A = this chain, B = another copy of it.
């Protein structure tokens, strides 16, 4: 069996989504990539989480060809692959229908940055894609979803804003690893809840000052980060 470590990381990230209450039944999927092998490991479609083992994880090439695995990959595979192709620093992708992030996606609104919790993880509002048109839906729909995400990031840095809301659908998140992608999905849901409550309290709430947004993002990320314990670089 190839890529055992990556399979285990992908399994663990999928289970983290369950533990944090982000997925219901078989909703959601997370994948990881081995850049040196050019191979992606992704959750199979519609298998109950409590039955998942590393053996169930499906291994595909970047063009979608299955190289190992007896189950169908997640039906959202083509979206994941599109992100790997266009976001070169991405090591993992997580997709959920988590309650509040999905509500923002359904409402077709980006999540504004109202506070430092958001700024710690997302260096700007979390954007929303354009809605797909009829021919995109009729064609290779999951690929078109990925393409719509990439267009949304045409002028944004996916490493600094590792999340997007697909209009009328739900969020996709990513990160340097599949664990980080799942972590970002959990944070996104929390930020989405708090932004919702913030607007309910004060419909005129303004975004965080740009300086404070920068301060918090850079406190956790980049060369001068001073949050957490020092890591070897």
In the assembly, what is the distance between CA of A103 and CA of B200, in Å? Answer: 9
Q: Known contacts being A137-B215, A209-B137, is A187 close to B228, with CB within 8 Å?
A: no
For the complex, is A193 an interface residue (Cβ under 8 Å from B)?
Answer: yes
Chain A interface size, under 10 / 10 to 19 / 20 to 34 / 35 or more = 35 or more
Choose from B134, B183, B199, B226 the contact partner of A209 (Cβ within 8 Å): B134
In the complex formed, the residue of B with least CB distance to A219 is B75
How many copies of the shown chain assemble into the complex?
4
For the complex, is A230 an interface residue (Cβ under 8 Å from B)?
Answer: yes
Is the Cβ of A47 less than 8 Å from the Cβ of B229? yes
For the complex, is A107 an interface residue (Cβ under 8 Å from B)?
Answer: yes
Which residues in B have their C-beta under 8 angstroms from that of A109?
201-202
Q: Known contacts being A137-B212, A227-B45, is A197 close to B115, with CB within 8 Å?
A: no
Choose from B25, B100, B198, B226 the contact partner of A106 (Cβ within 8 Å): B198
For the complex, is A7 an interface residue (Cβ under 8 Å from B)?
Answer: no
In the assembly, what is the distance between CA of A117 and CA of B117, in Å? Answer: 27
In the complex formed, the residue of B with least CB distance to A231 is B46
**A195-214 vs B, Cβ < 8 Å mask (1 yes, 0 no):** 11111111001101101100
Which residues in B have their C-beta under 8 angstroms from that of A152?
none
In the complex formed, the residue of B with least CB distance to A190 is B24
In the assembly, what is the distance between CA of A26 and CA of B228, in Å? Answer: 9
Choose from B46, B193, B198, B229 the contact partner of A107 (Cβ within 8 Å): B198
For the complex, is A170 an interface residue (Cβ under 8 Å from B)?
Answer: yes
For the complex, is A44 an interface residue (Cβ under 8 Å from B)?
Answer: yes
Which residues in B have their C-beta under 8 angstroms from that of A27?
117
Choose from B114, B137, B190 the contact partner of A211 (Cβ within 8 Å): B137
Which residues in B have their C-beta under 8 angstroms from that of A103?
194, 197-198, 200-201
Q: Known contacts being A106-B114, A168-B114, A209-B137, is A193 close to B44, with CB within 8 Å?
A: no
In the assembly, what is the distance between CA of A45 and CA of B228, in Å? Answer: 5
Which residues in B have their C-beta under 8 angstroms from that of A102?
115, 117, 194
